[in-house]
Structure 1
Amino acid sequence: MKIFKRVVLLLIAIVLVAVFYNYPKLNILAGYAAKSTGSSVFLAKRNLQFTDSTDTNFSPINLASNSVNTETKEASSSAFGLLTRKSVYREGLGSVLVVKGTEIDSNPLTPKRATPDTTTPFPYGNLDPKDSIFSEINYDKLNKTVASMFNDTFKTRAFLVVYKDKIVAEQYAEGFDKNSLLLGWSMTKSITSTVMGILQCDGKLNVYDKAPFEEWKDDERSQISIHNLLQMNSGLKWVEDYNSISDVTKMLFLAEDVTQLQIDKPLIGKPNETWNYSSGTTNVLSAIIRKQFDTHQQYLDFWYEELIDKIGMNSMVVETDMKGNYIGSSYAWATARDWAKFGLLYLKNGQWNGESLFDKDWVDYATTPTPTSDGWYGAQIWLNAGGRYPDVPKNMYSFNGYQGQNVFVFPDQDMVIVRLGLTKNADVNHFLSEILNSFK
């Protein structure tokens, strides 16, 4: 009996130690599940069963048990019954993950939104586009290539090809259609950069000015410019690893204010000489944008009034943190067609239906390779300048996000390609080159 008791006590001790060391991971696991479930159910209007079988159905996130309260618009996720996290949906702001020990504002400021244009065809409005046939397109080859993206390996949800402002190919996975909101993940970074580009072209800031943070003024970080931050070339310490407890997972799933973690980091490299991909840096840019306005309401409205709604991306919602900051690194949702409009805005060098949001100088700036990035990165935009995709034009650039969210812009071909899915398994060089080969 004594031996049995000792074995039981040993097993209990082992379990307690395992829980102690893995508790932070459980916090991230439950946090990811609660945030994803809340956004999927209340923002994207998908049901819980569908969400469990798709958005949160991958290891280790699928270990969490999820539930929703449709009256309070809350989602809860439990990690083995040891820890539970909650997200709360607020109209206009999306679903926010509640941080332990904090209270959520039950009556927050929300952005003012424009009325969608439902009488003008795509791309300038939200009416279905007029049918167009181009003699230079091999439609059989094009449609075959697009169809090949929809399988259990690639897990594509939406695929769209826009040529000369016309949708020439469009396909959706089962359960999705032209009205489905899809998370862009890090494509949101390009939205944030563009908001800054609009401020730059309006003369409201200069990207070559030093970053305006009191925390940096008395040390070597005072030399960091907004330009360095836009290019992710600041030299600040940051670890972007979604498979561990890293800076990015702490920021997205444990922080009340997503802008602060990167601001508090030390310099470990030299500005303009140390490229390092950092979602924290993008949220620092969101904080800088906030500093350009006298009120929080002005900050909230500007993103929609001067960019998102102005080009008819009326489906888009950029979610905020508990402090009301736009999570500019990661959380913009929109339909595939509205993501395509964003690509078209760059294709048109910032000109949209007779209005100028920014000029070609900004496009040239944003698509100039960052030093030490091997030609892969500009100002929150991915590039092919280094020949990453050898069978694709080198002046192609893209907005990219986690799990294979992409908007590819082809300036010479007058084309935008949108691919949204749940995995990066697809051979990007192959499917892009195959689509290009569909055009004579």
Structure 2
Amino acid sequence: MSRFRKIILRTLQVILGILLLLVAILYITGNDYIIRGVQLTYMKGHNTANIDDYKDFDNNLILADKPQRWEQHELFNKIPLTDTLQNELEKFKSVGFFVAKDGKVLLEYYWDGYSNESHTNSFSMAKSVITMLLGKAIEQGYIKSLDQPITDFLPEFKDDEFGKLCTVGDLSAMTSGYDWLEDYYLPLNPSAKAYYGDQIEKQMLSRKFIQKPGGDFNYLSGDTQLLAIVLQRATKRSASQYLQEEFWQPMGMEEDAYWSKDRKDGMEKAFCCLNSNVRDFGKLGQLLLQNGKWNGKQILDSAFVQKMITPNYKAFKKGQPASYGYSIWTDYEHQPNFYGLMGHLGQRVIVVPSENLIIVRLGHEKDKRNLNKGFLDTDTYYFVDEVMKMLKNHNLLNSQNAKKDSLP
């Protein structure tokens, strides 16, 4: 063997030894989830979680029953997208775009082989769904109110200085004071461990609270996961089963859905990972727009819906935009006002109440530019403003119709 080949072989042995040592350290320190994370991201050409990775996880199936199809608007897909909106959607690799006006589908577009039957990851839009389930649990008496202490369900925190002061409402409004680092790219952090790990309940219950609850808004995925544990213990049902029984089937969702879990016999990753399509995600926005009513039946208490979509002003300092209610993002400074379910990589269900308008966008990337359009993500303003232009150009705005009706 030549000297050069010996050097190469020795180098490879050293590299292999280092890799094996790193793997051993990860397992010993309880950070072996990083290995799975690397396999499902970097080794697949991604630098973060992606909208299709439910296929790589165990899932709970949420069954549809007696689908209720969206009614089509008379101008369905007859209104062209503005150039600005078209460019925004294509530049950031959208896979689905859906607009419903007055309860009827006005626009529905797909890219890259996706369709109305495709399933993609909701990411943090699932947080809003968990709070919807919380509202139902309160209505049905499983939970007393938003003010009920979490220790009634999570006695693991009864000796925690701040945890024992936390309420279920604090978890929903993101004012818990829980110890958490919200990061979707850094491998070594609790968000990544929750996403790629296999002991999510143990992880949540082993952490602490580091601030007094009820204070400033601080967006934490850990809050939603704790809330899901509360719901599971209160209702004796998984989030998937509860969603299926109280929302998915009563609302006539068109397709089954999947909720990804930490392991086969584990629990849902409730802070993310509800996998569905534009039409069924759109129905969740329509339910909020209709104050919790569906086909004449009150699916979710109207007062609770108003609580969700109203900014939690006390959680924001003077001069700071009040951008969050109870698991719903809001901008009531923009014209028109809107609120919505929003998730990683630009997953959106946007509700514009004044126009009875629902906008859904699903895709691979988010517009990260800061163009000073508002205090929420740039893309939300593109979607709202450009759709409003399209409606105006075709005399579909409620304000335009109101003027017509007022003419002598």
TM-score of the aligned structures, taking structure 1 as reference length? 0.72
Contact 2:251–2:294 (CA under 8 A) maintained in structure 1: yes
In structure 2, what residue type is equivalent to 1:219? D
Return the match for 1:253 from 163, 181, 196.
196
1:345 aligns with 2:284: no
How far apart are the structure 2 equivalents of 1:278 and 1:199? Answer: 22
Percentage of identical aligned residues = 25
- Counterpart in 2 of 1:311? 251
- Counterpart in 2 of 1:195? 133
Contact 1:313–1:339 (CA under 8 A) maintained in structure 2: no
Return the match for 2:342 from 396, 400, 403.
400
- Counterpart in 2 of 1:437? 389
SS of the residue 2:116 aligns to: coil
- Counterpart in 1 of 2:373? none
How far apart are the structure 1 equivalents of 2:344 and 2:247? Answer: 23
Would the alpha carbon gap of residues 187 and 29 (structure 1) be closer, same or farther in structure 2, given more than 3 Å must change? farther
Contact 2:224–2:270 (CA under 8 A) maintained in structure 1: yes
Matches within 5 A, 1:8-407: 12-13=13-14, 16-17=17-18, 20-21=21-22, 24=26, 27-28=33-34, 30-31=36-37, 33-34=39-40, 56-59=44-47, 87=56, 89=58, 93=60, 113-117=63-67, 125-126=68-69, 129-133=71-75, 139-140=79-80, 142=81, 144=83, 146-151=85-90, 153-205=91-143, 206-211=145-150, 212-220=153-161, 221-244=163-186, 245-256=188-199, 258-293=200-235, 295-296=236-237, 300-315=240-255, 316-322=257-263, 323-370=265-312, 371-372=315-316, 374-385=321-332, 387=333, 390=334, 392-393=335-336, 395-407=337-349
In structure 1, what residue type is equivalent to 2:172? L
In structure 2, what residue type is equivalent to 1:404? G
SS of the residue 1:241 aligns to: coil
How far apart are the structure 1 equivalents of 2:49 and 2:64? Answer: 36
Q: CA deviation at 1:380?
A: 1.4
How far apart are the structure 2 equivalents of 1:2 and 1:144? Answer: 63
Would the alpha carbon gap of residues 283 and 32 (structure 1) be closer, same or farther in structure 2, given more than 3 Å must change? farther
How far apart are the structure 1 equivalents of 2:78 and 2:254? Answer: 32
Greater CA drift, 376-385 or 402-411? 376-385
- Counterpart in 2 of 1:67? none
SS of the residue 1:378 aligns to: coil
Contact 1:313–1:334 (CA under 8 A) maintained in structure 2: no
Q: CA deviation at 1:132?
A: 1.5
How far apart are the structure 2 equivalents of 1:324 and 1:15? Answer: 33
How far apart are the structure 2 equivalents of 1:13 and 1:57? Answer: 26
Question: Which of the two has greater helix per residue?
Answer: 2
In structure 2, what residue type is equivalent to 1:115? D
How far apart are the structure 2 equivalents of 1:114 and 1:336? Answer: 15
How far apart are the structure 1 equivalents of 2:8 and 2:84? Answer: 60
User: C-alpha offsets along residues 181-221 of structure 1, whole Å, 9 cap, x if unaligned?
Assistant: 22211111111110111122333311210002111112311
Contact 2:240–2:259 (CA under 8 A) maintained in structure 1: no
- Counterpart in 1 of 2:372? none
Would the alpha carbon gap of residues 439 and 6 (structure 1) be closer, same or farther in structure 2, given more than 3 Å must change? closer
Would the alpha carbon gap of residues 171 and 143 (structure 1) be closer, same or farther in structure 2, given more than 3 Å must change? farther
RMSD between aligned alpha carbons?
Answer: 3.3
Would the alpha carbon gap of residues 223 and 421 (structure 1) be closer, same or farther in structure 2, given more than 3 Å must change? same
Would the alpha carbon gap of residues 425 and 17 (structure 1) be closer, same or farther in structure 2, given more than 3 Å must change? same
In structure 2, what residue type is equivalent to 1:437? K
SS of the residue 1:425 aligns to: coil
How far apart are the structure 1 equivalents of 2:87 and 2:228? Answer: 38
How far apart are the structure 1 equivalents of 2:105 and 2:84? Answer: 15
SS of the residue 1:276 aligns to: coil
Q: CA deviation at 1:335?
A: 1.4
